[in-house]
Structure 1
């Protein structure tokens, strides 16, 4: 996706690229959701505010904002350099879970973070 984004960046706006990518994802993934609806979402009460609020947050704030920012970053930097920042996602997600939700930081997280940081350092240093 980052390579395609970089190729069409001179022609299309970041929001257009993100919108088209989202529409393609919806078209491709909807059959799988419909096929497993009863086993996965059959017991969810979609009439509650907490469900709609969660969907709105995950869709509009968390996902859409992140994709727009990512696609803008791809336009400003080369895809190879930007790809290194993608590795920070699990670290940021876990730290936000710890900060906002009180989740525990384990030794596996610390080890994984060190491995991620080491791989980024290695890629920058020896590329």
Structure 2
């Protein structure tokens, strides 16, 4: 596949993740962030393990659990705490700092240069997300904001290390290892720190199935496949598409109004994603010239 095809396919993951806020608030029981995170990761991971029938070996045991903690256990818990305590717009804006963190970490761990255009794209994306989702009624709950920032840092580390540690297996197997490890790490925490779930309704079941199979297993297979083929600093800005989709779903499903500022924010988000990809294409072109 071409680079453009890889980017478009990888972009499907954050577009699917844009449904998380609607599903969480409309279909799931409130007040169970760690339980929801565990049920999003562990069943999907075990299902994928049954399909691939391959366990980690050697150093990949430790790496799978570390990446599972960063990409799933900690990140997902912080994500759902943020989603429960903040309006979706505020939570999305806080999390939009992640691509900038990835640029810095990619420099530290992988040696990628920090390019001005990539930083501009990241700042533009944050501005676009703010226009897209912030409203005058947006409440800034301190714990929710802290959870959003912590989750962004965790996912940034997981994104860069997933790219840095290229496994000797397919993206499907890599996803199975991380989902399962992340879910296992959450089981004792859920048992100790959260009450048992109430009797689940049909809507609850539909919400968990969507988050686990589509928003979890399928979306992360696509995401890790993209990380195996593209630079981390090219993949991370695609995350700006998540709040864009969340806003569109809020308008289409919940009947929320779209203001002129929000429509402008959509345009700015798309421009930022385009700028981030241009920065990577320029880097690739420069490296190609240097090797001649």
Task: Give the TM-score normalised by the residue count of structure 2.
Answer: 0.36
SS, match of residue 257 in structure 2:
coil
Q: Which residue of 2 aligns with 1:27?
A: 184
Partners of 2:203 and 2:241 lie apart in 1 by 29
C-alpha displacement of 1:8: 4.1
Q: Displacement of 1:116 after TM fit?
A: 4.1
2:240 to 69, 77, 87: 87
Question: Could you say which residue in structure 2 is the equivalent of 1:77?
Answer: 230
Q: Deviations over 1:15-37 (max 9, x none)?
A: 11111111221123233322332
CA distances 1:60-110 after superposition (whole Å, capped 9, x unpaired): 112222111111111121111111111221111221232234333356745
Structure 2 CA distance for partners of 1:52 and 1:121, relative to 1, 3 Å = closer
Q: State the shift of 1:120 in Å.
A: 4.5
CA RMSD of aligned residues (A): 2.9
**Aligned counterpart, 2:218:** 65
Structure 2 gap segments, 5+ residues each: 1-157, 284-292
1:5, 1:17 within 8 Å by CA — same for their partners in 2? no
Q: Which runs of 5+ in 1 are unaligned?
A: none
Pair 1:30–1:111, CA change in 2 (3 A): farther
Change (3 A) 1:110 1:52: same
Which stretch of the first structure deviates more once superposed, 102-111 or 2-11?
102-111
Match of 1:16 among 173, 177, 180: 173
Query: What secondary structure, in the 3-state scheme, does the structure 2 residue paired with 1:84 have?
Result: helix
Aligned-partner Cα distance in 1 for 2:267–2:244: 10
User: Do the aligned partners of 1:45 and 1:51 also contact (CA within 8 Å) in 2?
Assistant: no
* C-alpha contact 2:167 2:174 (8 A) present in aligned 1: no
